[in-house]
Amino acid sequence: MNVVLALAIIILMGVIGGKLARHRLNLPSVTGYIFIGILLGPSFLNFIGAELQDTFIPVKDIALGILAVAIGGELRFSYLQKMWGDLCRVFFIESLLTLVVVASLTTLISGSLALGLILGTLALASAPNTTIAVFREYKLKGDFPRTVLSLVALDNLFCLLLFGLIIGFLGMFHGGIEEANTNGLLVFLGVLGNLFLSFFLGVLLGMLQVYLNRTVKSDNELLVWALGLIFLGVGASLMLGLQPLFTAMVMGLTIVNMSPRPQRFFNSLRSIDTPILIIFLTLAGAKINLAMLYQVGFLGLAYILARFVGKVGGSYLGGSICPNMPKKYRKHLGPALTPQAGVAVGLSLMVERTLPIFEGSILAIILGAVIVFEVIGPLLLKKALMETDSIDFGSQ
């Protein structure tokens, strides 16, 4: 089957799945996209096999770049300054508790501190694509949705930074002390340089887009420039071995804070992001192999449970020391942060390439966890929006 025909089937089946989920089952459309992907994947029809998944890697890279720009655009400094006290408390306690609980439990079970540190770091990552897709379905109101998106952005930024540092640190000692003394420091400095260059590239492209926002009059032309710069950021990052997700998030952060009319840029992206979300999430579902649930074992189950406890418990504890945060926010912030997909999977693949000593165990655990969190995550997120009165049903 040719790629164009396969892409057509993915889009059309994804749309049908989303419609059935929302209008027949009262579930988020995201759940429908993912379940259609599972149906088309190796668990059932095997229509989207490994070879076709590899063919669509550039499509997924582009989609994740566009979504990462959008999530970076939620980190508006004026809002962060206004809410920084509350956001900082929730973010710090939620991320710290998630890291400690997951790392401690998985280290205890596996006997490997390195494995525990990596899994604890990966547990921080949320799924911006899933969160944005659920939010796009409804007319939202109040501060809860923006608080969730801000925490998702902060979690992923922190995850990327900490991941780079830990991989560099472990790389220093992989292979013994002698190798650490010669090449380890270079590995660590290389990771720091990688993050710095990703940040610099994101700021540079963001500032160029800010200039275009002021000078380009046509919205259609602005969209063309926007897509070109996002593709440039993702492609250049991949070519240079940088972090494309980090580059794209920094680009979005720069645009929203440096442009006098940032919403013109983000509205132009929003006009095309629905098909991108459908393709990305359906392919994400097709990546899921239900047989992985049997392979993750006790360690995988411990990771899933510990991450859920860390996200929910940490958000509640953080919210409980925020005097200005409504009580209903405290209870539902954690469940809203549970979706996990592309970021964690991408980083786990990087671990397997950089530190082959783990022999596929990390990827197996993360893929198994994704099955759980991408199925229950959108449901918990929708419930959180309803319980916090964030959905404006009168405008639906």
User: How much is the average pLDDT of 180-196?
Assistant: 64
Over the stretch 243-264, which tens digit does the pLDDT of each residue have? 888 899 899 999 999 998 888 8
What is 206-253 written as a DSSP string? Answer: HHHHHHHHHH---HHHHHHHHHHHHHHHHHHHHHHT--HHHHHHHHHH
| Residue scoring higher pLDDT (281 or 104) | 104
Mean pLDDT score across all residues of the chain: 83
Q: Which of 13-27, 168-182, 308-322 is least confident? A: 168-182
pLDDT at position 16, please? 93
Tokens 């049903």 identify what position? 393
Q: How many residues does the structure list for the chain?
A: 396
**Could you tell me if 130 and 377 are in contact, meaning their C-beta atoms sit under 8 angstroms apart?**
yes
Residue 232 belongs to what domain range? 3-395
Beta bridge partners of 391: 140
**Six-digit token string for 29:** 């459309």
Check pLDDT > 50 for residue 49.
yes
Over the stretch 334-359, which tens digit does the pLDDT of each residue have? 999 998 876 787 777 777 666 666 66
CATH number for the domain spanning 326: value is 1.20.1530.20
Q: Which of 27-31, 298-302, 391-395 is least confident? A: 391-395
Tokens 């939010």 identify what position? 135
Portion of the chain with pLDDT greater than 90, in percent: 28
Check pLDDT > 70 for residue 307.
yes
Residue 193: pLDDT band by 50, 70, 90 thresholds? confident
Cα–Cα distance for residue pair 324/259, rounded to 1 Å: 29
| Residue scoring higher pLDDT (172 or 101) | 101
SS3 349: helix
Cα–Cα distance for residue pair 31/39, rounded to 1 Å: 12
pLDDT at position 320, please? 87
> By C-alpha distance, which of 49, 42, 35, 58 is closest to 6?
49
Over the stretch 7-28, which tens digit does the pLDDT of each residue have? 899 999 999 998 998 888 887 8
**Six-digit token string for 52:** 């076709």
**Could you tell me if 375 and 31 are in contact, meaning their C-beta atoms sit under 8 angstroms apart?**
yes
Cα–Cα distance for residue pair 360/363, rounded to 1 Å: 5
Cα–Cα distance for residue pair 113/103, rounded to 1 Å: 8
**Six-digit token string for 74:** 């939620």
Number of C-beta neighbours around residue 94 at 10 A: 27
Domain count, the chain: 1
Check pLDDT > 60 for residue 178.
no
Cα–Cα distance for residue pair 213/195, rounded to 1 Å: 27
Cα–Cα distance for residue pair 232/166, rounded to 1 Å: 28
**Could you tell me if 148 and 337 are in contact, meaning their C-beta atoms sit under 8 angstroms apart?**
yes
**Could you tell me if 246 and 292 are in contact, meaning their C-beta atoms sit under 8 angstroms apart?**
no
Over the stretch 266-276, which tens digit does the pLDDT of each residue have? 888 888 878 88
| pTM of structure | 0.80
User: How much is the average pLDDT of 134-159?
Assistant: 85
**Could you tell me if 32 and 279 are in contact, meaning their C-beta atoms sit under 8 angstroms apart?**
no
Angle at 26 between CA 59 and CA 393, to 5 degrees: 100
Cα–Cα distance for residue pair 182/141, rounded to 1 Å: 56
What is 123-167 written as a DSSP string? Answer: TT---HHHHHHHHHTS-B-SSHHHHHHHHHHHHHHHHHHHHHHHH
Report DSSP state, residue 79: H
Over the stretch 91-132, which tens digit does the pLDDT of each residue have? 899 999 999 999 999 999 888 888 899 999 999 988 887 888
Cα–Cα distance for residue pair 144/308, rounded to 1 Å: 20
SS3 391: strand
